[in-house]
Amino acid sequence: MSNPLQELPLLPRFDQLHPEQVAPAIDAHLAACRAVLERGLAEEQPGWDSTLAPLEEAQDRLSRAFSPASHLNSVLSGDWRAPYEAALAKITAYWTELGHNRALYEVYRDIEKDPGFSDWPQARRKTIELGLRDFRLGGVGLEGAERERFAANSRRLAELSSTFANNVLDATSAWTYQTDDEGELAGLPDTALAAARAAAEGREQSGWLITLDGPSYLAVMTHADNRALRQRVHEAFVSRASDLGPDAGRFDNTPVMSEILSLRAQQAQLLGMGNYAELSLASKMAESSDEVLEFLHNLARRARPAAQREFTELQAFAGETLGLEKLQPWDIAWAAEKLKHERYAVSQEALRPYFPYPRVLAGMFAVVERLYGVTVQTDPAVPVWHKDVQFFWLLRNGEKFAGFYLDPFARDKKRGGAWMDTVTTRRQGSAGLQLPLAYLVCNFSQPTADRPSLLTHNEVTTLFHEFGHGLHHMLTQVDVGPVAGINGVAWDAVELPSQFLENWCWEPEAIAMISGHYETGEPLPVALLEKMLAAKNFQSAMFTVRQLEFALFDFRLHCLAEGASPQQIQALLDEVRAEVAVVPVSPLNRFQNSFSHIFAGGYAAGYYSYKWAEVLSADAFSLFEENGIFDAKTGQHFLHTILEQGGSRDALELFTAFRGRAPEIDALLRNSGIES
């Protein structure tokens, strides 16, 4: 029987994929990688063409086979979990084994030492440079027991990362609150009530069902007048995957975190580093832990006084207008929405009817066409994994050069949040030029029988953010896989293109393209637009210190030389909150237990990257502010200097090529409404 994961057409055959196909396909591709490596190293003169290029091609096929399995585990879970985890263990072992291959390392080193190396194409030189770095970080210099320990740690860390993510997903899916009393849901907008009704029907229950999926949770916290309901939902959410709350101990990530931190610290020590933060920074723009901490503390010093003023105003409003003597954690979003409406007469719900998902999507594509001269075209013939998913081609002058899948709506057993991931990478191989393909995933409210999914403006910016990542991957002109698209890009710069594209969500000329009433097509009224823009920086300082809380907690946690016990983790988070936070926290809050970015994603000792890259994106956008937001020359300049270059050059070099100077923080502070 044929196996699409072994045959590997450019577009995965999602209509023919089954979990039992994963193991034989991954085994076959791993065997092929090892055979290609053995042949390449046996060559009389191992080098780029004889050794590295064939190996990279075999590894690309491995990646293309694993990509659908990994993706389906995230968006469907269920039967895909076990084969994904088994494959992940084998692939982790392979990469660890490769990182310890001295003979292969010497091929890279001999290439770098060759007198003609400086004349090589830039992308190939960068690939060798990054390869040598990764060998060092992968433990190629270790011997004997230390090498074995490093390899065992790597395998175990992959397992623990998957376990952490599974616990968060299962904890999120396990908790629901059903009610037949619509009065309990007073204040919820019609869109949220319809979604709660649909959720109940989907599980064959009566009435309305509240879940911990993003749209449902946020609707309750922002709009439910029932304070007891807000508390119930908030406590269930903030205690997910912990030893507290309604599912205490059932999906507990507490021991998982400690083991992850201990193993990361061990890996750093084995490589001769003081802590995991040093190991993390070896592949980032920031040059030292001191530089990162100073950056975060500097931003905190500027933002916290404004954040404290914002919270004091909210407390006063809650007491005088809402009758809340003391703001509890489950009151903050609700009270803030009331204050925002009183001050600006605007709310996310008032904006929803003007941001129907189909209109936003078409408008976003039109924005990108004006900026970069590319068009987007749907292709309903491409097989997908769920009826909600669409596939699109990117075209330039009528020619397809990239594509992406878009999975926009929340559903049961789908990982929360929003993300972009790779299907294929642009690369020149033996069969010709391979086109880059991406997954874009969001968790917006489902459409109903009588209306499309209506987005909040926050969700509009989320869609633009993820498409910005996708464009970075798809618009690359680099054809050497390891540095094409997002590959090889410093992690603290990878958010630049995504945050950069969000700026157009706040520009009236672009808003006219992405908005229109879902029933009449009527444009967003000028008065409502002006209120939305006036409210742009409402509580932006409070949001900033919240992000700084996450970033400082993450970075300081990974600066610890020996990892941390559960008690130390909590103590450090409490300490960071005392330094920068301004809002109260529930006693049941175990935020760390669901902090997937750092325990199950790529942001360990790197969450600061969001703010670091925000400096870059705000400063980059300031050139458009000077020249016009749709200035074709500036758009092409950004395309050629940033998006097309991938990881072929250092991020600071690319930014400087675009902006003509090093990045400055002023634009971020100005755009956030925080005085410099």
Those residues whose C-beta lies under 8 Å from the C-beta of residue 169, and which sit 6 or more positions away, are 77, 413, 415, 416
Question: What are the φ/ψ torsions at residue 106 (nearest 5 degrees)?
Answer: -70, -30
Radius of gyration, CA atoms only, the chain: 25
Please list, residue by residue across 59-87, b when 16 or more beta carbons sit within 10 angstroms of its beta carbon and e when fewer do: bbbbbbbbbbbbbbbbbbbeebbebbbeb
Alpha helices in 411-477 (DSSP H): 457-474
Residue type, 67: S
- Whether 18 and 80 have beta carbons less than 8 Å apart is answered as no
- Whether 571 and 148 have beta carbons less than 8 Å apart is answered as no
- Whether 72 and 6 have beta carbons less than 8 Å apart is answered as no
The CB density around residue 243, as the number of other CB atoms within 10 Å, is 16
The catalytic site residues sit at 466
Number of H helices, E strands in the chain: 27, 9
Residue type, 127: T
Residue from 370, 631, 642, 605 nearest 499 by CA: 642
* CA–CA separation, 321 and 331 (whole Å): 13
* CA–CA separation, 661 and 645 (whole Å): 18
For the beta sheet containing 399-409, the strands, ordered from the edge strand earlier in sequence to the opposite edge, are: 375-378, 390-396, 399-409, 437-444, 419-424
* CA–CA separation, 160 and 171 (whole Å): 16
Alpha helices in 322-384 (DSSP H): 332-344, 348-351, 357-372
